């Protein structure tokens, strides 16, 4: 079974179309070229579907980096 970290990295790689060998843990809105508003919506939807969580609009606005998203999931106990 994949760890939460592995699953989250796979989501970031797929949704943000990160190049092979790049580290998804460094992804951040405004610094990752493919992270636009549509990618953000897709990213939130993929995280909700994969982890079975609900991300409300307020939380979604604060999840602007891989680290913030990882911490959000950790705070939820995922």
Contacts of 26 (CB under 8 A, 6+ apart): 66
Q: What's this model's pTM, rounded to 2 decimal places? A: 0.94
Distance CA 14, CA 36 (A): 14
Element (H, E) at 5: helix 4-15
Domains of the chain: 4-75 (1.10.1200.10)
Give Cα 20 to chain centroid, integer Å.
17
Q: What is the pLDDT of residues 40-71, one digit of tens each?
A: 999 999 999 999 999 999 999 999 999 999 99
Q: What's the average model confidence in pLDDT over 17-24?
A: 93
Output the pLDDT for position 20: 87
Give the tokens for residue 32: 């990752």
């Amino acid at each position: 079974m994949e760890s939460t970290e592995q699953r989250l990295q796979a989501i970031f790689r797929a949704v943000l179309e990160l190049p092979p060998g790049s580290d998804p843990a460094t992804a951040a809105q405004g610094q990752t070229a493919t992270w636009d508003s549509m990618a953000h919506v897709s990213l939130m939807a993929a995280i909700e579907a994969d982890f079975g969580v609900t991300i409300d609009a307020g939380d979604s606005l604060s999840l602007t980096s891989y680290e913030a998203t990882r911490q959000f999931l950790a705070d939820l106990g995922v």
